[in-house]
């Protein structure tokens, strides 16, 4: 039905006038045309002319105004107010410790406020962005991330055993590469049949080698786990999944061990400090020992002495959880931990409800990165992991990490917003 029947065009126009979403308008128009074509052909086989069959089918569609209102309700874009409330609450909570620390670090609070506003703008903007457009950019984003890593590796300066790009007071590392890789792999796995298994292995291992070679062991772990999670939820042969997972895990363990012994003495000393904290409590294990000490002294109501927090290094960044616990007590620390964990639970709920395949990968990949970062920071803060310098998502000071996690949340909200705009399976 390339040229629409005037009656059909009038019907479609009236239906679309009741639908607010442009995406839903286009979808409903497409489905109506397909439905009418199918019914019209059926009537033509019963002996009606095409003109008669088209008119009969259109008349059976009913009142276009009523039908349009029903379609508007069915395909209305949704907003995950629960996720927005949680992320707004978390960002709001993050301002409190920055205010108390601003008596020691001048300007800290106002900078955090500015970064928080930027984060909320990013979240809301991405919520209205159609995440499905990124699916076509998968390989481009992958190449862009590799180029960025190579560039930083070539021109970056060594900082604590890692290459970083210094722009004034700003240090740019490989953090955003994690974002680009998880988005690109979400797309690559949708079109996995275009790639030979050897190519997929090469695509997987190139970023790993760049992370490990430039001292980003933590990012290599996050990348490794996140991509393996995406591969294992992909609808491919279970034997292939197991083979890929076990082979990459074994090779990764061997490679990490070899590169660790070839790494800088700084990285090796940090691991030894974790294994023998008493021998390094005034050097490489200082962060962990002070962190555990302050958490133990916090009590349920906290100490509330801003001057003593000077003893805790990185109180505004990586070790902000011990600071909050010491200042506001075990109750405050547990409350914050509970909110952050509930935030991850909400992301899982969104993933379960998501039917669009690429959208599900976006949600699960973002959730995996967030959860790994959260758990590592928490375990690091209580001394169950070595100090690795990872911020507490949204809470720690730092514009880069705030933008990073805000982008993930914005994309998840975009997936949720469009989930209700789905194909009509039948129009009776």
**Is 309 a residue whose pLDDT tops 80?**
no
Residue 9 in contact with residue 54, Cβ under 8 Å? no
Residue 292 in contact with residue 281, Cβ under 8 Å? no
Q: How confident is the model at residue 426 (pLDDT cuts 50, 70, 90)?
A: very low
Question: Helices (DSSP H) in 6-137: which residue ranges?
Answer: 6-17, 22-45, 50-60, 64-74, 81-101, 108-128
Q: Which of the listed ranges 161-175, 193-207, 313-327 does the model predict with the highest average pLDDT?
A: 313-327
Q: What is the pLDDT of residue 134?
A: 94
**Is 145 a residue whose pLDDT tops 80?**
yes
- Mean pLDDT lowest among 13-17, 92-96, 206-210, 297-301: 13-17
Please list, in sequence order, all residues whose beta carbon lies within 8 angstroms of the beta carbon of residue 75, skipping any fewer than 6 positions away: 19, 21, 23, 24, 27, 28, 420, 421, 422
Q: How confident is the model at residue 279 (pLDDT cuts 50, 70, 90)?
A: low
CA distance 278 to 281: 5
Q: What is the pLDDT of residue 409?
A: 98
Mean pLDDT estimate for the chain: 84
Q: Which of the listed ranges 177-191, 237-251, 279-293 does the model predict with the highest average pLDDT?
A: 177-191
Q: Which of the listed ranges 58-67, 317-326, 418-427 does the model predict with the highest average pLDDT?
A: 317-326
How much of the chain, in percent, has pLDDT values that exceed 90?
A: 40
- Mean pLDDT lowest among 81-95, 182-196, 216-230, 360-374: 182-196
Q: What is the pLDDT of residue 1?
A: 47
**Is 425 a residue whose pLDDT tops 50?**
no
Q: What is the pLDDT of residue 94?
A: 95
Q: Region 260-270: what's the mean pLDDT?
A: 66
**Is 31 a residue whose pLDDT tops 90?**
no
**Is 176 a residue whose pLDDT tops 70?**
yes
Exposure string for 231-252, b = 16+ CB within 10 A, e = fewer: bebbeeeeeebeebeeebeeeb
CA distance 274 to 258: 19
At 79, phi and psi to the nearest 5?
-120, 130
- Mean pLDDT lowest among 240-249, 262-271, 407-416: 262-271
Q: Region 95-104: what's the mean pLDDT?
A: 87
Residue 64 in contact with residue 15, Cβ under 8 Å? yes
**Is 3 a residue whose pLDDT tops 60?**
no
Reading the block at residue 413, the tokens are 């909200």
Q: What is the pLDDT of residue 260?
A: 67
Q: Region 338-349: what's the mean pLDDT?
A: 96
Q: Region 249-254: what's the mean pLDDT?
A: 79
């Amino acid at each position: 039905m390339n040229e629409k029947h005037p009656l059909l065009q009038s019907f479609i126009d009236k239906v679309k006038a009741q639908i607010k979403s442009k995406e839903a308008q286009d979808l409903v128009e497409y489905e109506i045309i397909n439905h009418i074509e199918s019914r019209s052909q059926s009537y033509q086989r019963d002996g009606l002319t095409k003109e008669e069959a088209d008119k009969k089918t259109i008349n059976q569609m009913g009142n276009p105004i009523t039908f349009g209102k029903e379609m508007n309700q069915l395909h209305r874009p949704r907003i995950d107010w629960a996720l927005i409330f949680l992320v707004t609450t978390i960002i709001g909570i993050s301002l409190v410790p920055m205010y108390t620390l601003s008596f020691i670090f001048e300007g800290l609070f106002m900078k955090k406020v500015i970064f928080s506003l930027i984060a909320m703008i990013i979240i809301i903007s991405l919520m209205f962005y159609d995440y499905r457009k990124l699916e076509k950019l998968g390989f481009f984003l992958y190449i862009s991330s590799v180029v960025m890593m190579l560039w930083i590796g070539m021109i970056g300066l060594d900082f604590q055993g890692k290459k970083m790009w210094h722009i004034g007071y700003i240090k740019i590392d490989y953090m955003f590469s994690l974002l680009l890789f998880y988005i690109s792999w979400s797309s690559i796995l949708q079109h996995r049949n275009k790639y030979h298994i050897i190519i997929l292995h090469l695509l997987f291992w190139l970023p790993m080698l760049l992370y490990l070679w430039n001292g980003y062991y933590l990012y290599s772990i996050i990348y490794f786990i996140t991509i393996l999670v995406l591969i294992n939820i992909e609808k491919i042969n279970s034997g292939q999944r197991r083979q890929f997972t076990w082979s990459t895990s074994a090779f990764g363990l061997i490679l990490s061990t070899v590169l660790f012994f070839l790494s800088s003495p700084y990285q090796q000393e940090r691991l030894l400090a974790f294994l023998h904290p008493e021998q390094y409590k005034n050097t490489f294990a200082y962060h962990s020992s002070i962190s555990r000490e302050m958490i133990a002294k916090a009590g349920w109501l906290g100490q509330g002495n801003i001057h003593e927090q000077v003893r805790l290094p990185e109180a505004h960044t990586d070790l902000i959880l011990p600071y909050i616990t010491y200042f506001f007590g075990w109750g405050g620390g547990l409350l914050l931990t509970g909110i952050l964990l509930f935030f991850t639970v909400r992301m899982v709920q969104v993933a379960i409800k998501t039917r669009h395949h690429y959208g599900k990968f976006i949600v699960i990949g973002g959730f995996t990165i967030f959860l790994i970062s959260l758990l590592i920071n928490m375990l690091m803060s209580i001394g169950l992991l070595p100090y690795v310098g990872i911020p507490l998502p949204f809470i720690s000071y730092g514009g880069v990490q705030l933008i990073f996690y805000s982008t993930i949340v914005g994309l998840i909200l975009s997936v949720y917003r469009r989930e209700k705009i789905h194909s009509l399976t039948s129009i009776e």
